[in-house]
Amino acid sequence: MKLKSTGIFAFVISFFAVGFTLAQDLGPQIRKLEDGVYVYVGKNFNSNCGIVLTQEGVVLIDSGHNPTDSRAILQAVKKLTALPVRFLIDTEPHPDHTTGHFVFSPPAAVVAAEGAGDSMRSRERGDPERIQKLAAASPEMRAALDGYRFVTPHIEYHQKMALKVGERTFELMHLKGVHSESDTAVWLPKERVLFSAAGMVVNQINNLRPIVSIPDILAAAKLMKGLNPAHVVPGHGMPGTVKIFEESEKYYALLLERVGRLAKEGKSLDQIKKEVRMPEYENWAAQERFPTNVEAAYRAVKGG
């Protein structure tokens, strides 16, 4: 009896060791959310990438922060399945989510919300030396850019889209005014996994461009919370739960309250930028972006 128990114990240890090794083989950035649903978590708040396996191939959500990430993601995909990457869904058109498209397309068809292609082409025209500068960052980056091609979306949808691949359903929702010119949330209803795009980030100040509206961000958070996801994967930051939305809601509510109070006192935007403080969030990353948040809050309280 004692020998039998020892054997079982050894088997269990061996089983878990093998499982651990297999998980580690995918690389330290890969996290499993559900069966066949993984996320490549970007380092230091870099962009995330979803990896979803289906019976008919792989669907990616974004292509990694830069081509070195994209190459690592491709290697992980190859370890998970022999099937090709069939679709690549963009949560936004910015380079930190789209530069690595060439690694996967062809054969992958790129899907995004309307306006994504125009946004990408406009940025490319505005910085024609971008890829050369990126290649100069390191020998690894130069190697990862081998074969680079500028790949824009093949399919752009209007407002909503349902994409069925194998046994999976991907519901795409265009989120307007939350981060870029063309943001998409991706919802897997059966698995209850939500890729919420970069309108919501974790433990950092977001960059709120003039096209961004805090009321739109809050409306998007309410919409996505209503889906009751089990897993939330933001565009940047660690995956979590609906607490990601709740933390963002608290932050923006407090910011609107403080900026609104100063605006009612007749303070100008420049004065408010100098006076308003958010000490509760001083440990969040990217504090240099805070002025853009004050500007967005000022637009909101002034009805702009």
Tens of pLDDT, residues 95-128: 999 999 999 999 999 999 999 999 999 999 999 9
Cα radius of gyration rounded to whole Å, the chain: 21
C-beta neighbour count of 71 within 10 angstroms: 18
pLDDT value, residue 304: 67
Tokens of 107: 């054969």
CA distance 239 to 231: 7
* Paired residues of 175 in beta bridges: 183
DSSP-derived 3-state class of residue 14: helix
Question: Please, what is the average pLDDT of the chain?
Answer: 92
Alpha helices in 173-289 (DSSP H): 214-225, 243-264, 269-275
Whole-model pTM over 0.85 = yes
Give the residue among 243, 220, 248, 217 at the shortest CA–CA distance from 232. Answer: 243
pLDDT value, residue 24: 45
8 A C-beta contact, residue 177 and residue 207: no
Q: Show the low-confidence residues of the chain (pLDDT under 50).
A: 1-24
Give the residue among 110, 112, 94 at the shortest CA–CA distance from 102. Answer: 110
- The sign of the dihedral angle between the CA atoms of 195, 88, 188, 40 is negative
Element (DSSP H or E) covering residue 164: strand 160-165
C-beta neighbour count of 65 within 10 angstroms: 23
Tokens of 224: 């996505």
CA distance 169 to 19: 28
pLDDT value, residue 63: 97
**Residue for token pair 């420049």:** 270
Give the residue among 99, 110, 104, 105 at the shortest CA–CA distance from 141. Answer: 99
C-beta neighbour count of 34 within 10 angstroms: 14
pLDDT value, residue 27: 83
Fill in the amino acid letter for 241.
T
Burial 201-231 (b: 16+ CB within 10 A, else e): bbebbbbbeeebbbebbbebbeebbebebeb
pLDDT value, residue 21: 34
Extended strands (E) in 45-159: 49-54, 57-61, 85-89, 109-113, 155-157
- Mind listing the pLDDT tens digit for each residue in 175-229? 999 999 999 999 999 999 999 999 989 999 999 999 999 999 999 999 999 999 9
pLDDT value, residue 303: 85
Tokens of 11: 């088997």
CA distance 56 to 11: 35
